Amino acid sequence: MKVKTKKENKEVLLGAHMSSAGGVDKAVERAISIGCTALQLFTKNNNQWFSKKLEEDVIENYKKLILESGLKGVVSHDSYLINLCAANPDILKKSRASFLDELERCEFLGVPYLNFHPGAHVGQGEADGLKKIIESLDIVHEKSKNYKTLSVVEVTAGQGTTLGYTFEQIKKIISGVEQKNRMAVCVDTCHIFAAGYDISNEKGYEKTFQDFEDIIGLEKLVAFHVNDSKKGLGSKVDRHENIGKGEIGLLGFKLLMNDERFSQIPKILETPKSEDMHEDVENIKVLKKLIKK
Ligand SMILES: [Zn+2]
Ligand SMILES: [Zn+2]
């Protein structure tokens, strides 16, 4: 297995979501095997509320591999079951406990970012949903004082009743949370485009990130999910597409890949893939080619 040198890694933090089948350390191996310099992973089965504790030797091997590879910008994605503003009290309780468990796993592994979807209000209304999300984060943060892993809220496409599809909503969550320094933001290119932020051309791209700067502040932005969108601008439908094959198109990604403000922010693919990861390899190649030498 060829391990990229640390010097090469400085150029761009680019990678993909990797399967953790066989253990979290296996996700690192997979990332290294295709030359990733950034990585996203689940620290447990994403369709379960809880999982058995990470084993000591797996944690050690994970840390060793991360160190050796020089992989920076590691992001963990939380379980799809978690809804921090669930209307059902049992699910809300479970969601909070599960989120705390996710934070703990990241803390053990030294993963700096836990990416999460804000939640779906399922009929309670947006204002009440946002209030509940803030409450959930406060409860979890209170139980995990001094943790280094940041809670990274992902901008959503706004499908169904999901919250967090405007920068204003994201700002509301961050400023409502007591421990604001525990909070950061991930921009998913597919999601913001589907939510109505037109990053497919220069003017729209500039306006989008000017809005982000004005409303949230670029210092809060710690990760990108780089996905093209199967559906159109403002469609509010969350369907990822391979880079350049969707409605955003290559220009939007060219602007992003050459934006110096974001050069040291991890960019992670969540595009459709098969077990041999050839789609990731292709998408990474496409993105790297867009970088002006
Ligand atoms: Zn995403
Ligand atoms: Zn998505």
Q: Say which residues have a Cβ less than 8 Å from residue 60's Cβ, sequence separation at least 6.
A: none
CA angle (215 as vertex; 235, 114 as ends), nearest 5: 75
List C-alpha distances in Å: 31 to 17, 43, 47, 269. Answer: 8, 15, 22, 12
Share of the chain residues as helix, strand and coil, in percent rounded to the nearest 5: 45, 15, 40
Q: Ligand 1 centroid vs 188 CA: distance in angstroms?
A: 5
Give the pLDDT score at 70: 85
Structural domains for the chain: 6-288 (3.20.20.150)
> Which ligand sits nearest to residue 239's alpha carbon?
2
> Which ligand sits nearest to residue 226's alpha carbon?
1
Q: Ligand 1 centroid vs 190 CA: distance in angstroms?
A: 8
**Could you tell me where the DSSP H helices lie in 34-188?**
56-69, 89-109, 126-142, 167-176
> Which ligand sits nearest to residue 16's alpha carbon?
1
The environment of the single-atom ion ligand 1, i.e. residues with CB closer than 5 A, is 188, 225, 270
Q: Ligand 2 centroid vs 134 CA: distance in angstroms?
A: 22
The tens place of each residue's pLDDT in the chain, 293 residues long, gives 555 444 444 579 999 999 999 999 999 999 999 999 999 999 999 999 999 999 999 999 999 999 999 898 899 999 999 999 999 999 999 999 999 999 999 999 999 999 999 999 999 999 999 999 999 999 999 999 999 999 999 999 999 999 999 999 999 999 999 999 999 999 999 999 999 999 999 999 999 999 999 999 999 999 999 999 999 999 999 999 999 999 999 999 999 999 999 999 999 999 999 999 999 999 999 999 999 97
> Which ligand sits nearest to residue 78's alpha carbon?
1
List C-alpha distances in Å: 151 to 16, 22, 106, 193, 231. Answer: 20, 26, 10, 23, 28
CA distance 223 to 205: 17
Give the alpha-carbon dihedral of 55, 59, 60, 66, to 10 degrees: 160
> Which ligand sits nearest to residue 272's alpha carbon?
2
Q: Ligand 1 centroid vs 9 CA: distance in angstroms?
A: 23
Q: Ligand 1 centroid vs 261 CA: distance in angstroms?
A: 20
Q: Ligand 1 centroid vs 236 CA: distance in angstroms?
A: 14
> Which ligand sits nearest to residue 193's alpha carbon?
2
Q: Would you say the C-alpha torsion 206, 211, 212, 213 has a positive or negative sign? A: positive
The β-bridge relationship of strands 240-241 and 228-229 is antiparallel
CA distance 192 to 195: 5
Q: Tokens representing 185?
A: 């933001």
CA distance 88 to 99: 16
CB-neighbour burial class of residue 289 (10 A; exposed 0-12, middle 13-18, buried 19+): exposed
Q: Ligand 2 centroid vs 91 CA: distance in angstroms?
A: 22
- Contact criterion met (CB below 8 Å) for 120 and 133: no
pTM of the model: 0.95
Q: Ligand 2 centroid vs 231 CA: distance in angstroms?
A: 11
Q: Ligand 2 centroid vs 167 CA: distance in angstroms?
A: 16
